Structure 1
Amino acid sequence: MPFPPLERCRIAVIGLGYVGLPLAVAFGARYDTVGYDVDPERIRALEDGTDATGEIEPKALRAAERLSFTADAADLASCNVYVIAVPTPIDIHRQPDLHHLREASDMVGGLISDGDVVIFESTVYPGATEDDCIPLVEARSGLRLNKGFFAGYSPERINPGDRTRPLTKIVKVTSGSTPEAADFVDALYASVIEAGTHKASSIKVAEAAKIIENTQRDVNIALINELSVLFSHLEIDTTEVLDAAATKWNFNRLSPGLVGGHCIGVDPYYLVHKSMAAGHIPDIIRLSREINDGMARHAVTRLVKAMIRKGLRIGGARVLVLGLTFKENCADLRNTKVVDLIASLESYGMSCDIHDPAVSQQEAADITGHVLLPEVPGDGADYDAVILAVAHDALTGLGVQRLTAGMRPDGVFFDMKAAFDIAQSDLRL
């Protein structure tokens, strides 16, 4: 069964979030592409030239001249390549939540025809594409893999907020359900990815490669976070230690902090799940997640101790939290651990005000239950503590004096990101 020539590809990109939209824009500059999302408001905004995530500029949207948007799955029926880029979060029990992926697989199964290709981008554990997704496509379509349709897996590598490494500047890992399918998938991506591609030998290898990228980073950050906890007991500043250690050429410089987001804070749980199912307990991966998940509580414990040393009240204290997203210069609130920080503060009877210049006010209110402040408060706010939780340029550019203008003279400024000199803060991780 021949694959469609690249110039005849009509591509459907399913899921237009941080992963799917940049991909749809890249394909839409060269191929007839339909971007699909279940959220009609998202579609209307994109049709008006606005990306609420802030990742794609209006100029880039306009440049994708062959890209259209829809919230109606029926509009995808004329496509012959289906790319699924939907979220793969974890549930409240920290178990993989594949319901978006299963729904998308079932939907595509109702759309595909003989010879079509389905490519998955969502991050999963090794085996999920072939064991969890493909059977749903087969059941709904009545077609068989590698006989009626083909599959590929090309894991997303989007880094939200990173303007120097957009989608086209990052090497793309590709794979396929047959050698011929792998060649087709690789050629398709190579036609839009300037950085080039790496064709993996199998779908499982590509799945595993993606999930260990973030697991490795999670484990490495966990070591730095544990060192930060140790150094706090020894009354040593962690950043000063890292500055000194980083003078050696082979030291891998990472910083302590909250580890959230849609990748590093989630992917290791997928690998733990699959490892346990295979009969192996992945101690280092599991313990690293526990360390990183506990950093919000550790930060609040340190703040409480610093406040007590200054004779400040704990119950009833007023705290200003600056930054809410999972990382700096990014509007992404998925799995942000600043929410855990706020919950821990409130468990001590403190009240929190929040300001983040990067986020959607409504989305932030839905997640936190707080109405965010429109700007950093000034004189007279009388906060007992100010926490710089996320070092957005828009915040750090204001300087310490402006950020702490609303703090009482004997209050605690907690620079969690070590964005400023040690002499300008009362506390750092």
Structure 2
Amino acid sequence: MNLYEKIVMKEEKISLVGLGYVGMPIAVAFAKKIDVIGFDVNKQKIDLYKSGIDPTKEVGNEVIKNTTVEFTSDEAKLKEAKFHIVAVPTPVRDDHTPDLTPVESASRTLGRNLTKGAIVVFESTVYPGVTEEICVPILEKESGLKCGVDFKVGYSPERINPGDHEHRLETIVKVVSGMDEETLDIVAKVYELVVDAGVYRAESIKVAEAAKVIENAQRDINIAFMNELSIIFNKMDIDTNAVLNAAGTKWNFLKFSPGLVGGHCIGVDPYYLTYKAEQMGYHSQIILSGRKINDDMGKYVAESTVKKMIKANKQVNGAIVAVFGVTFKENCPDVRNTKVVDVIRELEEYGVEVKVVDPIADKNDLKHEYGILLSEMDEINNVDAVIFAVPHEEFKELKLENLMKIFSYSSAFDVAGAMAEVAATYEDDAELKVNDCVIMDIKGIFNRKDAEKQGFSYWRL
């Protein structure tokens, strides 16, 4: 029997190294079919899983309670597995160069516990060459084993979309690769146990690595184009969303939209590719141009907020702005590399006090990474502007007329009452209306015409 057959017969186990937004759902999926060890160095996270709590909200508490995954922070347990999947984050440093520390550390941990006959598959996003040129030497050094003789390696880029309950591990075609045909066949068959959409066998590990980084680089460039259009159309006083709706009626128009591009994939992966290109003597032009536009969008949103406040006769220095949503994307608690923080920091440079509301963000990560404390919805009042930065489902349920109560001059629920208070407060300006209420709706949660009809000073990308 080969390794795949032993895994199916439960004579051998697989392990997941790294139990975050990617690794944990993979572990849970495999555990429905085979024996799985779920390892993470974060003991606090392991304790949560053991107690039936899903901090990622990717599969839910009930699934975690009932899964057969053996959660552990004891690296020695990895010796019990023969098929290892490494799914740790690969961020970038402040200078936008790849930070391979997590994948290198995971390789050392796994190397110390690697046994003969094992297969190691990396899922972490990397530039072409990392698996074979960086990870393999670490595995060999730590284990004392020889790659290709005592153990084999493969690469299968993760495609899980955090917070997306439609495009999951099971429903997305899985790209797989191996260092040789035998390894590729085993890797493919193992993943076919859980991926209903099937697998695509890449020609080599480097091809699979490259495929991953260009997937997100392509999306990054397209969003950058939308962001640039938004900047242009805002200067022309044209609604970008209206333009995109009109253009979208053409059959081959690509339907992207402007926004803040953060997270651990789209906002990071392009830098991995351009870093490797620089090493090869080529300076990226299109990829880095797109990255610069997207990296600057937080500042652009903050500056646009300040301009709107000034037009609404607000004193910027000392103003209070409420930011709704701080995660890197909607309906996901992940705050890694969130560009909403760029908006917050830029506003603080203007002397603005920022209050952040997010019902699903990971409070501990937010405080640890950025020093930001969350406020409750009912604590928000006397604000000068509101920024809807992330379109969580909870925010989509809010009504425009009920937002009036959180602005500085009104505690009323109805627009008519708010307008009456405005007139009474500003006796010297009979023309002043409720458009002092500044709403910055980055992703267009609300209907623009409705907002303007009700008197809000409304802006969106």
TM-score (norm 1): 0.96
CA change 1:341–1:107 in 2 (3 A) is same
1:208-243 residue CA offsets vs partner (Å, 9 max, x unmatched): 111111100000000000111111111111111111
What are structure 2's unaligned runs of at least 5 residues? 409-433
- Measure the CA separation in 2 of the matches of 1:232 and 1:319: 22
- Report how far residue 336 of structure 1 moved: 0.3
Matched with 2:38 is 35
- Measure the CA separation in 1 of the matches of 2:57 and 2:201: 31
Contact persistence 1:119–1:151 (CA under 8 A) = yes
Matched with 1:415 is 441
Within the alignment, does 1:58 sit opposite 2:51 as a pair? Answer: no
Contact persistence 2:324–2:386 (CA under 8 A) = yes
Matched with 2:383 is 383
Matched with 2:423 is none
Let me know the Cα RMSD of the aligned residues. Answer: 1.5
Matched with 1:427 is 459
Q: Which amino acid in the other structure matches residue 185 of structure 1?
A: V
- Report how far residue 244 of structure 1 moved: 1.0
Q: Which amino acid in the other structure matches residue 427 of structure 1?
A: W
- Measure the CA separation in 2 of the matches of 1:415 and 1:117: 48
Matched with 2:430 is none
Contact persistence 1:387–1:414 (CA under 8 A) = yes
Matched with 1:239 is 241
Equivalent residues in 2 for 1:28-427, closer than 5 Å: 28-65=31-68, 67-377=69-379, 381-408=381-408, 409=434, 410-423=436-449, 424=451, 426-427=458-459
- Report how far residue 164 of structure 1 moved: 1.4
Q: Which amino acid in the other structure matches residue 418 of structure 1?
A: G
Q: How many residues align?
A: 426
1:325-360 residue CA offsets vs partner (Å, 9 max, x unmatched): 011111110100000000011111111011001113
Q: Which amino acid in the other structure matches residue 52 of structure 1?
A: P
CA change 1:241–1:183 in 2 (3 A) is same
Q: Any idea what SS the aligned residue of 1:163 has? A: coil
Identity of aligned residues (%): 45
What are structure 1's unaligned runs of at least 5 residues? none
Contact persistence 2:4–2:189 (CA under 8 A) = no
Contact persistence 1:29–1:63 (CA under 8 A) = no
- Measure the CA separation in 2 of the matches of 1:37 and 1:358: 23
Q: Any idea what SS the aligned residue of 2:36 has? A: strand
Q: Any idea what SS the aligned residue of 2:437 has? A: strand
Contact persistence 1:395–1:403 (CA under 8 A) = no
Contact persistence 2:192–2:199 (CA under 8 A) = yes
CA change 1:4–1:236 in 2 (3 A) is closer
- Measure the CA separation in 2 of the matches of 1:16 and 1:191: 20
Contact persistence 2:4–2:190 (CA under 8 A) = no
- Measure the CA separation in 2 of the matches of 1:177 and 1:197: 17
1:164-222 residue CA offsets vs partner (Å, 9 max, x unmatched): 12211111110001011001100000111111111101000110111111100000000
- Measure the CA separation in 1 of the matches of 2:38 and 2:402: 43
TM-score (norm 2): 0.90
Q: Which moved more, 1:176-185 or 1:402-411?
A: 402-411
- Measure the CA separation in 2 of the matches of 1:332 and 1:276: 30
- Report how far residue 362 of structure 1 moved: 2.9
1:27-63 residue CA offsets vs partner (Å, 9 max, x unmatched): 1111111000111111111011111111112332344
Within the alignment, does 1:16 sit opposite 2:19 as a pair? Answer: yes
Contact persistence 2:298–2:340 (CA under 8 A) = yes
Instruction: List structure 1 segments (4+ residues) > 6 angstroms apart after TM superposition.
Output: none
Contact persistence 1:53–1:332 (CA under 8 A) = yes
